[in-house]
Amino acid sequence: MKRPFGQNFLFDKNILNKIVSCSEVTGKDSVVEIGPGLGTLTRVLAQKSKNVIAIEFDKKLISQLTENVSDLNNVEIINMDALKYPYETIRGKFSVVANIPYNITTPLIFRLLEYKAKIKSMTLLMQKEVARRIVATSGSREYGVLSLTTQLYTKPSLKFIISKKAFSPPPKIDSAVVHFQVSAKPSLPVKDAALFLDIVRTAFGQRRKTIKNSLKSFDGLTESLDITSIDPSSRPEELSMQDFIRLADELYNKR
């Protein structure tokens, strides 16, 4: 059975237990699960955590999901789009553990990061290619907006790869589990996080161009590049997070 929203089911109990183990959730933790499907991961989470808020968008799955976890008194099922769910209404901090529907992976991560002050950690199963982009460092082909955005507020680590054969039906690509330690504050000091992210998005929006050309819309760019000793002919993927922060801080000073 394939989800119409881009998710495939995972039934292997060993893998499910491994995912929950990577999440490091305890009996004191509230957990948000996105895309619970038929509740296989939900059951494992319910046994390890204080409570589970399972957000399922597919109305066709709700009755079966409800039946499958009916014996658990610490699971709340919500039929809603996870991209629109009001996470601020959850009492206290929470962890996120999810087999993310493939077609909303990146927007969902960005959405969750809006609530970084409330999230302790995220343990997400996603496409292997996306996982590699998240943990990528400067100089690699995978490095880009997703890498820098997630690494600004989280410490992501790729835990393990899951073969496509473990899913039913098998997707076209392998998956990976990424664990994020989440912080409300940037991992490195930055004067204006919004400006930093704007610069990153603009630079990688034209990643074949040099920094001097891709960021020419920012006032004071030439002088800022000179002050920070960043080569104007550099490509975006050649700049580390520290480089982008130094440039953002210098441009902020010129406002």
Residue 3 has a pLDDT of 47
Q: What's the mean pLDDT when you consider all of the chain?
A: 94
Q: Write down which residue in 133, 159, 182 finishes a domain.
A: 182
Residues 79 and 15 in one domain: yes
Residue 8 has a pLDDT of 77
- Rounded to the nearest 5°, which phi and psi values hold at 181? -85, 120
Q: How far apart are CA 147 and CA 49, in angstroms?
A: 29
With bands split at pLDDT 50, 70 and 90, how would you rate the model's confidence at 103? confident
Residue 9 has a pLDDT of 85
With bands split at pLDDT 50, 70 and 90, how would you rate the model's confidence at 6? low
Residue 4 has a pLDDT of 47
Residue 14 has a pLDDT of 96
Give the pLDDT confidence of 54-80 residue by residue, as tens digits.
999 999 999 999 999 999 999 999 999
Residues 20 and 105 in one domain: yes
Q: Tell me, what CATH number does 215's domain have? A: 1.10.8.100
Residues 103 and 13 in one domain: yes
Could you tell me the pTM of the whole model? 0.93
With bands split at pLDDT 50, 70 and 90, how would you rate the model's confidence at 228? very high
Residues 162 and 119 in one domain: yes
Other CB atoms within a 10 A radius of the CB of residue 223 amount to: 12
Q: How far apart are CA 151 and CA 65, in angstroms?
A: 34
Task: Flag whether 90 is in a domain.
Answer: yes
Give the pLDDT confidence of 104-153 residue by residue, as tens digits.
999 999 999 999 999 999 999 999 999 999 999 999 999 999 999 999 99
Task: Flag whether 3 is in a domain.
Answer: no
Residue 101 has a pLDDT of 82
Residues 149 and 224 in one domain: no
Instruction: Output the 3-class SS for 121-176.
Output: EEEEEEEHHHHHHHHCCCCCCCCCHHHHHHHHHEEEEEEEEECHHHEECCCCCCEE
Q: How far apart are CA 209 and CA 121, in angstroms?
A: 35
Residues spanned by the domain of 199: 193-253
Residue 2: pLDDT over 80: no
Q: Which two tokens stand for residue 66?
A: 């409800």
